[in-house]
Amino acid sequence: MKNYKIIEGDVTSPKGYKASGVHTGIKKKMKDMTLILSDVMASTAALFTTNKVCAAPVTVSREHIKNKKAQAIIVNSGNANACTGDQGQKDAESMAEKTAEVLNIPKEAVIVSSTGVIGVSMPMETVMKGIETAADALSYNGGQDAAEGILTTDTGKKNVAVEVEIDDKKVTIGGIAKGSGMIHPNMATMLAFVTTDANIDSEYLDQLLKDVTKDTYNMISVDGDTSTNDMVCAMANGLAENETITAKHKDKEKFIEAFKYVHEYLAKSIVKDGEGATKFIEVTVKNSATKEDARKSIKSILNSSLVKTAIFGEDGNWGRIVCAIGYSEANFTIENTDVTLESEGGRVTIFEKGQGTDYEEDDVAEILKYKEIKILVDFNEGDESATGWGCDLSYDYVKINGAYRT
């Protein structure tokens, strides 16, 4: 039984958060700037891309988050401000300074994020005016506009909110995200912003975000490319007035459950909106000797172009799945391993104890007709498990990315 309640909402659902999403002219049309503001300074945690080629906003935000406090997040879409040299760094810093100025808060309290085309200089006159416009548009009901302002090739908004009772206080957690292509385990190009009115220790929030990210954003894959701009950021302003959540809090598990749901929902939403995707793939590995072995094999399956294209073509080619597990560097014994396919169309074990089974091709074809496909791998060697999510690789993925700048 869930300890949280799912509600219609976003980053302005928790107490004390305003947001906006506006069109400034960075993109020809559609909203291209988002601003999120907490009424008070908030405990804040953030994780960033593992790509050594990281965008200027990532560098600035890494510095600003060191004290684990923030009050505002400014995001532009349409321009990544990546590989733009010293000027790009200055531009990212200027975005923080301008946001701080119009909101009357310290510049170190501003997290900066960008997403879009790499290697193009920021149109700073447009950006500076846009920040003013975004600040003027701030609203306690602005979360849906904010969800739209961060999108690039996404086909729709990604938002979620839940309520959970902590110390007899209603605590709300809300989030928005963007991501459609350049998605690969260890985050990529995905942005996720989560707000809560929970009172939580900043060090504990930092550790919790790291732990949750391992099993959510770091377990998704669309195309195997890790972006220059990845970011996930969580703010907690304490306005729910619960007792401070730490590792010793009696209700910590309830909060963790709700917090993880929000991030998992956003991560899965990103995959479901994968560029050109026609299938949503969930891979679960169970009875693994270690959780890391389970994770490695899942990531390898999800990231295999051959597995992705087989799912797109509705071809139950277990050889591609087993091959991907084999080069994953996970420790397992092939003679103990089973592989099963499942969907609304049924469930068939296609590989058992090291070899293919005598399954009916028509049964597998019926399973693969559906949009949501599960690949279940049983190592039969331990008691650890993990789950990850991905999508197929279609003709449209090539079309979308072949014409991304045009």
309 in Cβ contact with 393 (< 8 Å)? yes
Does residue 204 sit in helix, strand or coil? Answer: helix
Nearest to 161 by CA among 5, 267, 19, 7: 7
Interacting residues of 122 by C-beta distance below 8 A, sequence separation 6+: 76, 79, 81, 84, 88, 91, 114
- DSSP code of residue 354: T
Q: Strand runs (DSSP E) across 272-371, as ranges?
A: 280-288, 338-343, 346-352, 355-356
d(C-alpha 55, C-alpha 83), whole Å: 7
Q: Which residue among 115, 189, 226, 228 is the active-site one?
A: 189
Distances from the Cα of 162 to the Cα of 5, 178, 353, angstroms: 5, 19, 42
Q: Quick check: is 34 catalytic?
A: no
d(CA 268, CA 208): 19
Residues in the chain: 406
Task: Give the residue numbers annotated as catalytic, written as ranges.
Answer: 189
